[in-house]
A and B are shown apart, each in its own frame.
Chain A
Amino acid sequence: MVVTVGYYHWFIFFWQTLLFLALVFLLWKYAWKPILNAINDREEGIKDALAAAEEAKKEMQNVTADNEKLLKEARAERESLLKEAREIKEKIVTDAKELAQAEGDKLIKQAKATIESEKKAAVADIKNQVAELSVEIAEKVIKEQLSNKEKQLKLVDDMLGDIKLN
């Protein structure tokens, strides 16, 4: 089979060039430009959206970190407050105890002193009363014993007798 390569028409060349250029122009104006623009816009949009998402993520992380920090601070503050409160409580309790102790001691001391003085007074009173009673009793006894002669004599005898013994 012989392939004829010699077939060559200039009019096809002419039409092809003309039609192709027209096609390039038309497609550029009505298709490629809007298509490429749309694709570009979309890509830009996607890029922007991704960047925005990244930004939001970062912000979110910042916020979370801030929260964490705040929480930590709050916790630390609470801790310190609690600690302080505990210390204050302990101090108050200790102080109160000491104060109570001192007050109690003081009261006890006073009471003891009062008791002592009361006791002394009472003992002195009792001594006085006992002395008076003794004197009264002695008076009564002497009065009784010296009511008759015999007894008076006897007493004298007895006394004399005692003196002898001494």
Chain B
Amino acid sequence: MRNPLLVNFLLVFTIFFSVTIFANESEMNSDETKTDLKTEIDEYIQHHLKDSHDFSLFSYTDDDEVTHHVGFPLPVILWDNGLVVFSSSKFHHGEEVVASGNNHYKLYHGKIYKTDASGTINYDPDHHATNIKPLDFSITKSVMMILITGFLMFLLFRGLAKSYSRNGGIAKGVGRFFEPIIIYIRDDIAIATIGEKKHQKYMPFLLTIFFFIWFLNMFGLTPLGVNVTGNIAITTALAILTFLITNFTGTKTYWKHLFDPLGSSMPWYAKIPLYVILIPIEVLGIFIKPFSLLIRLYANMQAGHIVIMSLIGLMFLFKNWIGSSLSFGLAFAISLIEILVAVLQAYIFTMLSALYFGFASEEHEHAEAH
């Protein structure tokens, strides 16, 4: 371990999760109606696609009908007239009420509700919980993955940056693999869509977003299966950043294009009836562009996860050699395709963001040609 950063990280990680692997036991009544396999798989997939307040690796039920959950607890951070912080292990996977000061909290269907001391959840006629939800800023599984990915990216690319100065401008190690990708993003995405002159100020965003989405997509394919990029909140956050950058760096030409797309090609009285239709469409376009970004990434990753997990679930449902091995083969094939999709979606997000930045940073002389 030559890298001091890595050592520090591991140190902090171990201290932070000093009780890393904890086994949590919960009694299951043997007379409780057992859900059939199909529903169980369905619920498992649903559960997998969701974020959670603890980092569960797997769970199993032993001979004594006791369910063990193996994983890490994560910190729960709430804002409820003051900061409330406690470990997610206190929830015991939603089975126990956590008392903090005079307040009590309960985890119910992945969300934290404020309850009374006994943990009563009140429901409205549609069976939705009506309890107050405190502002939740918890470090959940997804947030944890974002942190880990960010940290890995920082280590990786900091290492690459350092290797240049050490080796006289030549990348060493894994940097050799990533350097062509960086050059590709610069030359074939940024310069190709934004142009030689203005691409530089967009480079940090484009490079970060590409590797961020790619790495998170790849992490989603590991057995840990953390579905981060398949979470619509994540893709929304990314798309909003693209939206903000596009419109805040928009040049005069860009805005003129939006509100006066026909320019001087027509007299003003002829433009008015056209603009009644055109301008709303253009304005709508500003929002539709990033919206398509967020939906595309979210839907692709979500769908990929559902398909793979369903195929894996089918292996258990078939319970015969042909069906199960067929499902296995299919799941394997889809997994391979998902590896491609992982990089493809990262590429598309980056490419389209760059394209929008290109529109925004368009200069006058170029616009004249339209």
Contact = CB atoms under 8 A, between A and B. Distances in A.
Interface string B150-174: 1001100110111011000110000
Given A4-B46, A39-B179, A16 B146 contact: yes
A8 B150 contact: no
Nearest to A17: B237
B241 A20 contact: yes
A10 B138 CA distance: 11
Given A4-B46, A16-B237, A34 B164 contact: yes
B234 interface: yes
Nearest to A25: B204
B207 A38 contact: no
B353 to A, nearest CB: 12
A35 B160 contact: yes
Nearest to B147: A19
A3 B306 contact: yes
A82 interface: no
Contacts of B335: none
B182 interface: yes
Contacts of B306: 1, 3
A45 interface: yes
Chain B interface residue bracket vs A: 35 or more
Give the interface size class of chain A. 35 or more
Interface string A19-41: 11111111110111111101101
A9 interface: yes
A5 interface: yes
Nearest to A19: B146
A20 B237 contact: yes
B42 A1 contact: yes
Interface in A38-61: 38-39, 41-42, 45
A7 B146 contact: no
A1 B310 contact: yes
A35 B302 CA distance: 33
Contact of A12 (B142, B161, B310): B142
A30 B111 CA distance: 37
B279 interface: no
A27 B238 contact: no
Nearest to A36: B203
Interface string B71-113: 0000000000000000000000000000000000000001100
B137 A27 contact: no
A15 to B, nearest CB: 5
Contacts of B236: 13
Contacts of A8: 232-233
A55 B49 CA distance: 62
Contacts of A28: 204, 208
9 contacts: A1-B45, A1-B310, A9-B140, A15-B143, A20-B208, A27-B154, A30-B157, A31-B160, A35-B179
